[in-house]
A and B are shown apart, each in its own frame.
Chain A
């Protein structure tokens, strides 16, 4: 709630709307207490008095009635009617939407067809038809306005209900013995209510306007009762001779509708989860760099890609999340290095930092260097990064759809990817695209090139994403959990494909995963990450056969391996630390059975030359 108010307060237009609306509401609330003349008392002698004359603040109308008094009473009536219409439309619309969305099937079909039919009529015509059938009168106008708005609410609420009704907690409620009515009221409704409130706040302004419209036509409030629409309607005849009689209610309508809509939009935006997470603020083209020190000296001269003491953090308000806390890792030509760790350990941020792909804000690279063939990429101009992205360094992600555009044929996307970095004809590029699809073992490649991504299975899509990564024969492929979402048989095919690529073409691969089995089958060397840092590094065989860091050792013991039969697993108690509150010293100390007082006092370095471990009491001697 307080974040909601904070976000709302940041929106100047919404604050302005709230202020204007607040003032108007205050005025109409205290109207009965003000010493106002009777709004309906006629005095033909005083007709069309100008504002500020003879004690009439806003003058008088064609019957000599005090305009200020009529304005306040009329505004009160219009606001009340608008609110009532919104409540009625919201309640009935939500009820219809919930029933349709929850029960689905035939009920949904029939209801939504009816709603579609209603929506096919022009709005105001429908309202006119309803009033014509019911007869003029303010209450009937209210019903008409409410009725024509019901479809809007019903549609919105149905959409939300469908997504909620398919959530697992609704199934769980059924298994807990709840009936439909109880599920609707206690499981669905509380989750739908915010949507109804937002929809109301954004439509109530229009409902006031529509009621005013009906009154203007003489179908709403009946004389002598004043509402804003009827005041405007009665002033129509004297528009030229006494313009103030039209301007006064007109300005009020304008103020109300404008302030309600500004506030309503503000409320909607402030409740939008994307705005909350800052996702709607435009990210920069490359990750922000704020390095205090000059990059450390180059240590590994043969490496294609080397990360040196890389530090990346996220600055969210006052909190600092040290996602990558000084990672050093070198990849030699043709080598496959595994980066393994649990979720949240910083694997992906490390990978994205290489090419400046971490979203800024909130991401900032605060230290270290990333060298591609000796050249530092951190802080490199955007043009240079863009030239290298996809050309020298390519990425493969867990979700191939994140790199494939849903609306273009995969062959065309590959062709484009090739032509971004190479000046060759479209036909030549297309031939290369087909060849690439063949290289990644897509059967019938020429025909498949004409498919859209959604027409392919998950495994096929990941192959296309790999073909995309290969398009410009990069030196380094960074694969971030490329097989995690795939079935084992498909995973095996993709792993084989990557393994062959590396042997045939000499590409270097940084392979990120949480699966020791995959690392064991694919990688030459492996680095284990915990809480943003590498805790152990060595050849795959060494690390897997004789893990030196207590975390690695216990993590391997957690994982069941096929063929070992039924067995007790040795769980690690506790959870990894949150990276915005890392413990002092060894981050694993709170969960480590070997921890001593020394472990928590000072920073523990990553020790060793080829085989490295960040522990003062390692399980194996690594010297």
Chain B
């Protein structure tokens, strides 16, 4: 298999309390050095709790946010490329389907934008392509002349997916694409994504806070905590036999019928402006020892292709 996307030590630091002439008051490390590899045709799931840096990472991958350091390699693209250059190879599907569509444009105008600006298509060519895409996301052609507010969440998300497909990119970053949808509609959209992937040979980065959804759609999963990947492995193993204590906490916290309420670890995320020196999970971790509070653990292979950033990884 060939590589679709690779990041090397990608980081993002935000300045908070910007001032006109003096340096900012503080810095927030939203994404710590992160190295990810995604193969062509693969689905990489990215899970983590709110504020752990999922969206920031995703926005860097599609060129909406310049990284503070590190590199992104996507089919030969690298630093300095414009969102338009990125747009032809990687696209983004947003969490909130309704606010990702301009309320004052018709669906046709929205879908035409990437065809015009990324591919310079003529009028008749565009019409044919839009019909084809609309068909592939199972929407009726008559919707094309309507405005976004006339659609339900599930339909709007199909339109968002159609726009990403219109750019003809081979890699899609799906940022919580079904979180705003009801469960019965969620399944419709997930199945649509699976079909499109098979038909068009797409590569997905699937971001979600819902472990069960991620497990159901991904080949591999990366678990993010406090801006860093703490564990990475095959979807069928990572929650079934987690090696990082945080992954285990996540898996035990997920409500599953027939299992008692689990995951009782107390405590909260560390302060991002004042990150602890060692492992970010140490204050909540039952296995923490002295070294955990002083040395930051590196992501390292534990078994097979399962990797974890922990000084005392769990036994399988």
Residues of chain A at the chain B interface (Cβ within 8 Å) = 105-106, 109-110, 113, 167-169, 171-178, 182, 186-187, 190-191, 342-343, 441, 443, 457-460, 487-493, 495-496, 499, 514-522, 544, 554-555, 558-573, 575-576
Contacts of B84 in A (CB 8 A): 174, 177
6 A-B pairs closest in CB distance: A517-B255, A520-B257, A177-B117, A571-B187, A560-B216, A487-B49
Known: A489-B249, A571-B187. Is A563-B216 also a contact (CB below 8 A)?
Answer: no
- Are B236 and A566 in contact (CB-based, < 8 A)? yes
- Cβ distance B96 to chain A, nearest Cβ, rounded Å: 6
CA distance A492 to B186 in the complex (A): 23
Residue in B closest to A514 when the chains form the complex, CB atoms: B183
- Are B113 and A520 in contact (CB-based, < 8 A)? no
- Cβ distance A542 to chain B, nearest Cβ, rounded Å: 12
- Are A488 and B62 in contact (CB-based, < 8 A)? no
Contacts of A567 in B (CB 8 A): 216
- Are B113 and A487 in contact (CB-based, < 8 A)? no
Q: Tell me which of B117, B191, B212, B259 contacts A568 (CB under 8 A).
A: B191
One of B70-78, B97-105, B126-134 contacting the partner: B97-105
Contacts of B100 in A (CB 8 A): 167-169, 171-172
Instruction: Tell whether B185 is near chain A: CB-to-CB under 8 Å.
Output: yes
- Are A562 and B211 in contact (CB-based, < 8 A)? yes
Q: List 9 A-B contacts (CB under 8 A).
A: A173-B113, A174-B64, A176-B118, A517-B257, A520-B258, A521-B260, A560-B213, A562-B212, A572-B184
- Are B183 and A342 in contact (CB-based, < 8 A)? yes
- Cβ distance A544 to chain B, nearest Cβ, rounded Å: 5
Interface string of B130-163 (1 = CB under 8 A from A): 0000000000000000000000101000001001
- Are B261 and A522 in contact (CB-based, < 8 A)? yes
- Are A177 and B154 in contact (CB-based, < 8 A)? no
Residue in B closest to A188 when the chains form the complex, CB atoms: B102
CA distance A28 to B113 in the complex (A): 46
CA distance A475 to B115 in the complex (A): 61
CA distance A443 to B284 in the complex (A): 14
- Are A566 and B218 in contact (CB-based, < 8 A)? yes
Contacts of B59 in A (CB 8 A): 171
- Are A495 and B64 in contact (CB-based, < 8 A)? no
Q: Tell me which of B49, B190, B256, B261 contacts A562 (CB under 8 A).
A: B256
Interface string of B46-72 (1 = CB under 8 A from A): 000110000000010011100000000
Residues of chain B at the chain A interface (Cβ within 8 Å) = 18, 20, 49-50, 59, 62-64, 83-84, 86-88, 91-92, 94-96, 99-105, 113-114, 116-118, 152, 154, 160, 163, 167, 182-188, 190-191, 194, 209, 211-213, 215-219, 235-236, 239-240, 249-266, 268-269
CA distance A562 to B242 in the complex (A): 13
Known: A109-B20, A175-B86. Is A561-B212 also a contact (CB below 8 A)?
Answer: yes
Give 5 new A-B contacts, CB below 8 A, not counting A167-B99, A563-B256, A565-B235: A171-B92, A441-B266, A487-B50, A492-B255, A544-B257
- Are A178 and B117 in contact (CB-based, < 8 A)? yes
Contacts of B258 in A (CB 8 A): 520
- Are A168 and B212 in contact (CB-based, < 8 A)? no
Q: Tell me which of B83, B154, B187 contacts A570 (CB under 8 A).
A: B187
Known: A169-B101, A517-B256. Is A443-B183 also a contact (CB below 8 A)?
Answer: no
Known: A496-B264, A560-B216. Is A175-B182 also a contact (CB below 8 A)?
Answer: no
Contacts of A560 in B (CB 8 A): 212-213, 215-216
- Cβ distance B251 to chain A, nearest Cβ, rounded Å: 7
Residue in B closest to A343 when the chains form the complex, CB atoms: B182
Best-surrounded residue of A182, A559, A570 (most CB of chain B within 10 A): A559
Known: A459-B268, A515-B255. Is A173-B102 also a contact (CB below 8 A)?
Answer: yes
Known: A109-B20, A521-B259, A569-B187. Is A489-B114 also a contact (CB below 8 A)?
Answer: no
Known: A176-B167, A518-B255. Is A558-B184 also a contact (CB below 8 A)?
Answer: yes
Residue in B closest to A170 when the chains form the complex, CB atoms: B102
CA distance A544 to B258 in the complex (A): 10
Q: Tell me which of A186, A187, A522, A555 contacts B183 (CB under 8 A).
A: A555
Residue in A closest to B236 when the chains form the complex, CB atoms: A565
- Are B186 and A558 in contact (CB-based, < 8 A)? yes
CA distance A527 to B263 in the complex (A): 27
- Cβ distance A319 to chain B, nearest Cβ, rounded Å: 17
Residue in B closest to A591 when the chains form the complex, CB atoms: B184
Contacts of B99 in A (CB 8 A): 167-169
Residue in B closest to A194 when the chains form the complex, CB atoms: B104
- Cβ distance B195 to chain A, nearest Cβ, rounded Å: 10
Residue in A closest to B119 when the chains form the complex, CB atoms: A177
CA distance A563 to B235 in the complex (A): 10
Residue in B closest to A519 when the chains form the complex, CB atoms: B257
- Are A562 and B183 in contact (CB-based, < 8 A)? no
CA distance A460 to B267 in the complex (A): 10
Known: A514-B183, A565-B235. Is A172-B92 also a contact (CB below 8 A)?
Answer: yes
- Are B254 and A488 in contact (CB-based, < 8 A)? yes
Q: Tell me which of A169, A176, A522 contacts B114 (CB under 8 A).
A: A176
CA distance A559 to B62 in the complex (A): 30
Contacts of A489 in B (CB 8 A): 49, 249-250, 253, 263, 265
